[in-house]
Each structure stands twice: as C-alpha cells, then as structure tokens.
Structure 1
Amino acid sequence: MLIERFFVGDGISHISYLVAGQTKAIVIDPKRDVNDYIRKAKELGVEIEAILVTHLHADFIGGHYELSEKTGAKLYLPAKQESKRAHIPVQEGDIIQIENIKIDVLDTPGHTPEHVSYVFTDLSRGEEPVAVFTGDTLFVGDVGRPDLFPDKKEELAKALYNSLQKLMGLPDFVEVYPAHGAGTLCGKALSTKRSSTIGYEKRFNKLLSLSEEDFIKSLLEGMPPAPDHFKRCSKINEEGAMFLSKLSSPKPLSVKEFENLIDDDRIVLDTRHYLTWIGGHIPNSLSMDYKFMPFSLFAGWILDPEKEILLVIDNSNEVDDIAIKLRRVGIDNIVGYIENHTFSWTKAGKPIKSFKAISPDTLEERLNDENILLLDVRSKSELRSGQIENSINIPLPELRERYIELDKDKDKEIIIYCGLGPRGALAASLLEKVGFENISVLAGGFTGWSNYKKSPLVCGR
C-alpha cells in the first residue's frame, strides 16, 4: 500500500491523498484541480477505483464529483451529508474493501456534524490497521474547530471530544493523515509536520490530555475568525461545483477592451508584487500579491464571488496558475487579463494611482508626527509578537467595515503595516476604494521593523 500526498498552500494548507494498491487506487478529500490524481495514478500504473470524502470542506472547493465522472470511480460520502448527487453513503460500521486494502468507517463528528474518518488496513501485511485519514477531526498537534456552526458550537465541541476518544482507541502505531497542515484556519495551532501517529498525538497533542470541560472551553475561546468563503464553500461542496474542465481560461485583453469592462460590477485584481502596485496601479484596483501572500485565502475572504474579475498580471505564463488559485475558493468569474500588465496601460496614456512605500528608518523619524495615523492590519494573534508604538489595530478583513473609524482628512497620512508588506498593500487598496487618498505602506511590515530595531518593542494601544 503506497500513500501519495498532495499539498496545497496559499493559506488553505489542504492535504489530499492517493492510496495505491496493486492495480487500484483510492483518493481521499480531493482538491478541485483533479488532473494531478489522474496523472499520478497513470504514473503508478493503477486505476482510481474509489473517492472518499471525510466531510463538507469549508475552506476550499473539492473535486470529488468531477474526479468521479472523469474516472468512473465510486464516490463515498458521509451518510449524514444526505447529498442528492450520485454517491455511496457511509457511516460507522461500514467496510469498503479494494484489493487487499480494507477501509473501516468511523463517525467522527465535531468539526462538522456529518464528519467521518477512514481507517485503513493493509491485509497483505496483517489484520491490524496501519493508517487513519482523519479529515479535520484530528490534526498534527491540534484538532478541528467546532465553531463553524455557531448555534451548535457547544454541542459540536462535545461531539469532537468524544470522536477524539474514539480515534485514541486505535493502536499507537497507526499513522495519522489529516486534511490540513499548518497555515489553515480550520484549526488554531497546527504543527508544520504533515503526518503523525496515534501514539505521538497521545503524548504530545496537549488538547488530548484535557478534561472534557477544559477541552470545550479551550476550543471555544481564542479561535481565529472564520473567513467569508467558509460558508460558501461548504454549500458549493454539497451541491457540487462547476467542473474545472468546463470553465474557460482567462483571455488576454487589449487596453481598450480592459478599460471598457471596468465598472462597479467587476473587480480589477492586481496580482503583481505589492511594491509594484504601490508604485503605480489602475485606480481602485485591489492589490493581492500572487506570490508573497496567502493568495487563495484572502481571495476567498475578500473578493465578491458574484462579481467578474479582471486581472492585472506580470506574465501571461502565470495566468492559469492564478486562475486555479482563485477557483479553489470559488472565485470562478474570471473574464480576462491585461496584456503586458500596466506597461501597456500607461503607454496608452491611461490614468494611474500611486502611494508611498516607506522604510523603517523613515517611519522611526515620523513616529511622533501628529499628522500620521499608524494602522496595524495584522490579526489579533500576531499582536503577541509586539506592536509598533502608537499604532492602532484593525485586522485586515475587518477593515472593510471598520474603515469608518479612520480619519479621511487629506492632511492626515495613514501609514499601514502588516507582517511582511503584501497585506498592507491590500489594506491600502481597500481604503482607496472607499475614498482615502493619503496612504503609505511600511515595506517589510512588522518583520522589517523588528529587524531594523533589533530590540524589544513597545506594545501599542
């Protein structure tokens, strides 16, 4: 039995798997771009026989329906999901056997009500299980969050505690393969390690040693905010997304075509390096640095999925990769992209907007300037590492509503910082769209500031 892992980063940190036997293979929790599994199966000389889904994923769009149609593989979904699409429902006590691989289904609700886990036994080696695919019930060093259903969060936290006790009943040597690694918002503090064992988690996963009362309290306090796309993705995964193979590639647009498409019903999304955007961009475009920020996460969180997307890109070779990163979180309406990025735009004499990027030494000189407002757009959890003095904190996603707390006085300069810089540019672009003009971004963010100071920092208010 061979286990192949497929990892997607970009703030999703999704892990899916292909388990190969002698001639057949099983895919667990597939991503939306399913051709990778088909290619791997062909490379290994096996045929995809089954697709197993642990639960309705909230943070990405799954490819289970398309993979089933493309390969003819049987699709197994949790019975409590009650999907109306063609599938085989499974629940605790059910057994799936493919060649010498025996798969026992366990009900493991808690992260979601319908969640199941799959316990694999390689019968060619013995009668005891060797691996469990835990979805979002058990991570390495953490567990799934139970608060995605706010009205049921206490009930689900208790169910999660019981599900984990069930998993801890497996032999210590059983390998644990979760659906996410560090970087996801489906948990609070996942390890960077992407697999583990039951025995290792018993010993080192601190949540597993808590009493039920303390476990529930721990999970319901201090959980990071759930991004906007979580509810949307769950619904799409239940109903089934449009197959990627049926979506067209974004097309190149001339300056005239691009300009004629710009209106309130479309989003101009600039994916270039954040400092390039700061230096010159199409007015009211949103900055999402494709290479240096959790692109898929913030695209799902910030972009309106009902609006069409017009891309500003560095290189046409990147467009397909950018499109799949958007479509993994349900942003499908990508019309096209401007050729030669903003070079062609400025060459045609079209208007641009620019802000200032400042370095830490410049900021230090201005810290006591009454005409600046220092805005920290990092998450609450990031503030534990410190904060630049006299700054106020509004986490980036909250800025969409809380911008009304800021002074629009043109004489008041807003200097924005995040962790590294790209989120600061995104924040600047959000403020530009609601009328702010005097904006600067701290290049390098708090990381650059910390390296510049090389000393303990004063926490701000």
Structure 2
Amino acid sequence: MLLKQFFIEKIAHSSYLIGGTTACAIVDPSRDIDCYLKAAEAEGLNITHILETHLHADFVSGHLDLAEQTGATIYAPAAGHCSFAHMPLSDNDTFRIEDMEFRVLETPGHTPDCLVYVVTDTSRGDTPVAAFTGDTLFVGDVGRPDLFPGKARELAGELYDSLHTKVMNLPPECMVFPAHGAGSLCGKAMDAMRFSTIGYEISYNPALLITDREEFIRSLTVDMPPAPDHFSRCSDINRRGPALVRSLAPLRAMKPAEFYERMMNADTIVVSIRNYATFGGQHIPGSYHIDMGGNFSTFAGWVLPPDREILLVTDSPEQAREAAVQLRRVGLDRTIGYLKGGTHAWVSAGYTTDHIHQLSPSEVYEKIQDSDTVLLDVRSSDEYQERHIPGAVNILAMDLRTRADELDPERPTIAMCRTGHRSSLACSILKQQGFSDVYNAAGGLTGYIAAGFLSKKE
C-alpha cells in the first residue's frame, strides 16, 4: 500500500493518494489537480477512484476536473444528494482497490453527509490500517457542527454519536488522516500534526476526552470561531459540481485604459494583493486589499462578492496567476484580468490613486493619546479577549462590511490586527464606506508589544 499526502498552506487542506501496484484513489482532491496527475504518473499508477468524505465547505473540490482527466469514478456520500455522476455511498458499503478494502462509515456531525473511509490492507492483515476521517476527526480536534443555521445542537449530538459509536471503536493502531490541520476554520483548535492514530486521539484529543454528551454539545456550540462567507457557498458548489477549470475565462493582462474601463462596470471589483505597505503608499480608490502574505484564499472567500468580476492589482504576472488559483479554491471563478505594469503604469497614465498611512508602533502609541482617535482592533473576539490595548474597539475586519456604521467616519481611525494584514483589509473596507482619516497599524499588536508599549497585565 502506497500513501502520499498533499497539503495546501493557509487553508490547511490535506488530500491523499492511496494506491497499490497499478491503481490508486485520490481522497478529497483540491481543484489544483496537476499534483495528483504527476504523483500518480511518477508511481506508475492509474487514478481509478476519487473519494469525497463530504461536501466541503471551505474549498471547492477538484473531483470533476480529476474525473474528466482520468476517467476515474467519483465516490461521494449518498446523503449529499450530488447532482453529478457518482457512486453514492452509505453506511457499511465496501469496495476494493487491489488488496485494499475500503469500508464506509456514515459519520454525520460536521455536516449531515460526512463519511469516514476505513482501509484494510488485506495483503498484510485483517484489521484496519488507515481511516480517512475528513472533517469528522482531526488531530487534536473534531469538526465544527455550526455551519448549518439552526442545526448546530442537532449536528453536535450526531457528531458525538458518530465518534463514540463508530470512529472510536476502530483499532487504536489505525492511522488517522484528516482533511485539515492547524490553520483551518473547519474546527476550533486543530493541532499542527498532519496525521495521528485512533488510540492517540482517544487518549489526548480534548474533544474526545469529553465523555458527557451534553457537555460535548455545549463545547461545540459556544464561542466557536466565526465562519467565513464562502463556507455557506462551497458545499452547494461541490454538490452541484464546480465549473471545470479549463472552462474558465483566461486571465488577461490589461493596460490602464482597458483596466479603468472594465472597473467602471457595476459588476466589477478591484482587488489589490500587494503587501500592505505598498498598498498603503498608493492604490486604486475603492479597491479591496487582501495581502498575498496573509491568509489570502480564506479572506477573499470571506469578503469578496461572488457575483462580481474581479480585477487584480499585483506585483507581477506570476503573482496574478497564483492569485487566480487561490481564488478558484474558494469558488471565486470570475477573475478576468490584472493591471499590466501595476500602479506605476496606472499613475503614469494619469489616473488617480489613494493612500493609507502606515503607522509604526511608536506612531500608534502617540496617536492614541489623543482621545479623539479610535483604535479599532479587527481581530476575532477570542484574540481580543486574550490581550488587547485598553480602550480599543473590537470589530472583526470582515464584519466591517455591515458594522462600519457603529463607528464615526469623521474621527481618525487606526485599524490594528496581529501583524498588519487583516487591518489593511479593514482599512480598505472603511475607505469604501466613506472613512477618510484611516490608518493601518503596521506590525500590528505583535510590533506594539515588541516595542514595549503594552504591559504584561494588559
């Protein structure tokens, strides 16, 4: 039995190749399918099976692209009611790939359609050797059950039952291969290790150590991290079947005049992906800023309207192409072009730019001594509660789209996050909503603490 793991940073997504001597399966594929095609070719394997553990909420799957390229059969949960051609799977269904037997466990909880694939390598023994647990069981955590409005308690209870009556009954030596790791918002507090064993998780996973069902439900329905907007879209995209990547419009390099003409369309937005210092120095008025150095895919899926065409401002054509790939991961397929020559070409052609002053930690400290200045902490409430500057107002950066009216647009406003990435996004949203005296805290709270402006008690 051959096993390979593929990991995408930022969205912290793990997918897998599991194969024998001539055939293999891909588990929970991303939309970037070239890595699977190359890996299978290098091992002399044919991709014959595509296995989905559930209808993923945080990314758009590559199952249709991979099936078209390879002719492989897609296996997916029957409870998912998928619209594309597939083999629907229910509890205790089995199938084989050479000497490997796959047994299906229905494990609703994170979503109603979750599956676990339990693999036995019959050439070596008759007990399960691996479990592809999707978003049911992570290393150090379990899947969040609060992605379906009004069903969090019901799903949390189902997750408890799925874990305690099925998953935890697997042999302790059975290896656990989840679909996500630390950094994903599909759980509450995943560990950085990318695989584990059933026995280790039973002994040390905090969620599995909660034996009382009601307490388990409470732990997964209170103080959960916010869910990005695209979580409510991607599941349905995956159920219907995403557009094939080859069918999407190619990315165009646009000279300033063409770029300007396209950005004037009501159904078009401009997104700068340059670093926050460069964006602050000069950017196209009204543009979003999502720094490629931050969690680009997640933030883009969270705040960008999915029904708009996207124009990019980048540092290079290569960066534009990489951004288009990352946007496709979260279902933003309408990236049509980028500004050829960047903002230098833009201003050289006589077009207007805007600016956001980047404040050093000492400048932040000096400016907030003025009682008229608003310090806006745009981190999550958990981060804020852990440590913050006294007097700071806490509104999550992404929530400023609907909560900016809680602030006074006439007052100087400094946005601060942990490092400066989310706060720059916040500044761009505030600018769109009529705030003119806006500043970004470069280096964020990290720099502010390093400069000695926040005591350990605060």
| Fold-level similarity (TM above 0.5) | yes
Which residue does 1:44 correspond to in 2? 43
1:227: how far off? 1.0
Q: Is 1:140 paired with 2:139?
A: yes
279, 285, 289: which one aligns with 2:291: 289
Which residue does 2:184 correspond to in 1? 184
8 Å CA contact 1:387, 1:457 repeated in 2: no
Percent identity between the two aligned chains: 46
Which residue does 1:301 correspond to in 2? 302
Give deviations 1:297-326, integer Å, cap 9, x for gaps: 010000001000011000112222110100
Which residue does 2:379 correspond to in 1? 378
Q: Is 1:160 paired with 2:159?
A: yes
8 Å CA contact 2:356, 2:438 repeated in 1: yes
Give deviations 1:324-379, integer Å, cap 9, x for gaps: 10011011111110112101011112111112111111222233202311111001
CA 1:256/1:230 → structure 2, altered by over 3 Å: closer, same or farther? same
8 Å CA contact 1:388, 1:457 repeated in 2: no
> Within 5 A, what are the aligned runs for 1:211-360?
211-263=212-264, 264-290=266-292, 292-360=293-361
Which residue does 1:208 correspond to in 2? 208
1:289: how far off? 0.7
Which residue does 1:195 correspond to in 2? 195
1:219: how far off? 0.6
1:84: how far off? 2.8
After alignment, is 430-439 or 245-254 more displaced?
Answer: 245-254
Which residue does 2:173 correspond to in 1? 173
C-alpha distance in 2, partners of 1:311/1:367? 34
Q: Is 1:5 paired with 2:38?
A: no
Note the aligned Cα RMSD (angstroms).
Answer: 1.2
Which residue does 1:79 correspond to in 2? 78
1:391: how far off? 1.0
Q: In structure 2, the residue corresponding to 1:370 is in which secondary structure?
A: coil
CA 1:373/1:160 → structure 2, altered by over 3 Å: closer, same or farther? same
Q: In structure 2, the residue corresponding to 1:161 is in which secondary structure?
A: helix
Which residue does 1:389 correspond to in 2? 390
C-alpha distance in 2, partners of 1:456/1:199? 42
C-alpha distance in 2, partners of 1:157/1:427? 33
C-alpha distance in 2, partners of 1:317/1:52? 32
C-alpha distance in 2, partners of 1:366/1:83? 55
8 Å CA contact 2:207, 2:216 repeated in 1: yes
Give deviations 1:370-398, integer Å, cap 9, x for gaps: 23111110011112431112211111111
1:154: how far off? 1.5
1:456: how far off? 2.7
C-alpha distance in 2, partners of 1:146/1:312? 37
Ranges in structure 1 where 5+ consecutive residues have no aligned partner: none
CA 1:82/1:176 → structure 2, altered by over 3 Å: closer, same or farther? same
Q: In structure 2, the residue corresponding to 1:424 is in which secondary structure?
A: helix
Matched pairs, number: 455
Q: In structure 2, the residue corresponding to 1:168 is in which secondary structure?
A: helix
8 Å CA contact 2:177, 2:196 repeated in 1: yes
Q: Stretches of 4+ moved more than 6 A in 1?
A: none
Q: In structure 2, the residue corresponding to 1:233 is in which secondary structure?
A: helix
C-alpha distance in 2, partners of 1:455/1:351? 38
Give deviations 1:72-91, integer Å, cap 9, x for gaps: 11111111112232111111
Q: In structure 2, the residue corresponding to 1:148 is in which secondary structure?
A: coil
8 Å CA contact 1:34, 1:66 repeated in 2: yes
Partner amino acid, structure 2, of 1:273: N
8 Å CA contact 2:19, 2:97 repeated in 1: no
1:99: how far off? 0.5
1:265: how far off? 1.9
Q: In structure 2, the residue corresponding to 1:173 is in which secondary structure?
A: coil
Partner amino acid, structure 1, of 2:8: V
8 Å CA contact 2:377, 2:384 repeated in 1: no
1:162: how far off? 0.9
1:115: how far off? 1.0
C-alpha distance in 2, partners of 1:133/1:335? 36
Partner amino acid, structure 2, of 1:169: N
Partner amino acid, structure 1, of 2:276: Y
C-alpha distance in 2, partners of 1:64/1:206? 33
8 Å CA contact 2:448, 2:454 repeated in 1: no
Which residue does 1:54 correspond to in 2? 53
Which residue does 1:88 correspond to in 2? 87
Which residue does 1:27 correspond to in 2? 26
8 Å CA contact 1:249, 1:320 repeated in 2: no
C-alpha distance in 1, partners of 2:93/2:356? 60
What TM-score does the superposition give when structure 2 sets the normalisation length? 0.97
Give deviations 1:262-314, integer Å, cap 9, x for gaps: 12321110010111000111111111111x11000010000001000011000
After alignment, is 245-254 or 227-236 more displaced?
Answer: 245-254
8 Å CA contact 2:57, 2:231 repeated in 1: yes
C-alpha distance in 2, partners of 1:337/1:268? 9
Ranges in structure 2 where 5+ consecutive residues have no aligned partner: none
8 Å CA contact 1:389, 1:457 repeated in 2: no
8 Å CA contact 1:284, 1:432 repeated in 2: yes
Q: In structure 2, the residue corresponding to 1:206 is in which secondary structure?
A: coil
C-alpha distance in 1, partners of 2:134/2:435? 43
C-alpha distance in 2, partners of 1:47/1:266? 42
8 Å CA contact 1:309, 1:333 repeated in 2: yes
1:452: how far off? 1.0
Give deviations 1:177-214, integer Å, cap 9, x for gaps: 00010111111000011110001001100111211111
8 Å CA contact 1:388, 1:458 repeated in 2: no
Partner amino acid, structure 1, of 2:279: W
C-alpha distance in 1, partners of 2:287/2:81? 41
1:249: how far off? 2.6
Which residue does 1:64 correspond to in 2? 63
Q: In structure 1, the residue corresponding to 2:440 is in which secondary structure?
A: strand
> Within 5 A, what are the aligned runs for 1:99-110?
99-110=98-109
C-alpha distance in 1, partners of 2:364/2:83? 57
Partner amino acid, structure 2, of 1:77: A
C-alpha distance in 2, partners of 1:322/1:176? 32
8 Å CA contact 2:255, 2:341 repeated in 1: no
Q: In structure 1, the residue corresponding to 2:141 is in which secondary structure?
A: coil
